[in-house]
Amino acid sequence: MPHATRGGFGLGLRPPFYQAAAVGEVAVDWFEVISENFMVDGGNPLRILDAVADRYPLALHGVSMNLGGTDPLDRDYLNRLKGLVERVNPVRVSDHLCWTRHGGHHLHDLLPLPYTEESVKHVAERIGIVQDYLQRRILIENVSSYAEFTENSINESAFLSTVAKTADCYILLDVNNIVVSAHNHGFDAESYLQNIPIERVQQIHLAGHTVQEPLLIDTHDHPIADPVWELYRQTIHRLGEVPTMIERDDNIPPLTELLLELNEARQISQRALVA
C-alpha cells in the first residue's frame, strides 16, 4: 500500500468539490470515493479520479457488492472493481455487510441480514472469494437498519465481529449507523463497541441522520449529531487512532463547513487518545 493505513482524516469525494480536490486544494489527509461512480470506461469521472489520486491517498467504498445475497457474485462487477483497484492502488477497499440484489434485480438499498451462524458462514465464504480475486483484504461496514429478522440468534456486533474473524477481513465501523440502529432496535450503543475486535477496525465513518419518529434514518444529509460525536469519542478511546472520515451525500454544505466539522472530529480524537 502506498500510504499508512492508520490515522488521518478524510472526506467522501463528492461533485461539489471535485475540481478543488483535483488540484490538491482541499485540506484533508485522504478521500474516499464510491467505487461504482468510477467503474466506467473513460470520460471525466476517470480524469477527476486520476488527478485526485495523484494528490491524495484514496479509499474505495462500494455499495453493491452484495456480500450477503444469495445471487452469485457479479463477476463483471468484480472485474471492474479490480481494474479500479489496479488504477489507483487504494489504501483500503470496503463494502457493506448486507444484501443489495435478489433474482438479478438491484434493490438500491443496504438490507440487513439475519444474524445467525448460517449467515456467518455464507457471508464469510463470499468475502473469501472477493479477497482471493482482489488479492487483498477488504473492509466490511455495519449498516443501519429499521427491521430485524425473527430468527436472529446473536446480536449485531457479535455477528459483525464473527464474520470479520471467520473471513479474516477488516471492519469499517460506521459510528452513526451504530447510533441509528441502537435507537431503532433498543440496544446499547456503548455495549456494541465492547464486542468489536480492536485489531480489525481499519476505518471509521461519521455522518448525520434524520429524526423521523419513532425512528432515526441514516440520510447523510445533516451535520453529525451529539450522540454520534460522543460515541466516536468512546470509540477512539477504546480503539486508538483510526482513519476517520465524514460522509455527506445530500444537502451538502460549502466545503469550508465540512472541513470545520472534520476538524471537530480531529480534536475529539486527539482528546480521546490522551484521556
203: three-class secondary structure by DSSP: strand
Instruction: Give pLDDT tens digits for 35-61.
Output: 999 999 889 999 999 999 999 999 999
Total Cβ atoms within 10 A of residue 167: 23
Burial 118-143 (b: 16+ CB within 10 A, else e): ebbebbbebbeebbeeeeebbbbbbb
Q: What are phi and psi of 111, to 5 degrees?
A: -100, 140
Instruction: Give pLDDT tens digits for 120-146.
Output: 999 999 999 999 999 999 999 999 998
Q: Which residues pair with 93 in a beta bridge?
A: 60
pTM of the predicted model as reported, rounded to 2 decimal places: 0.95
**Which percentage of the chain shows pLDDT scores above 70?**
96
Q: Does the pLDDT value for residue 3 go beyond 50? A: no
Q: Does the pLDDT value for residue 105 go beyond 80? A: no
Mean residue pLDDT of the chain comes to: 93
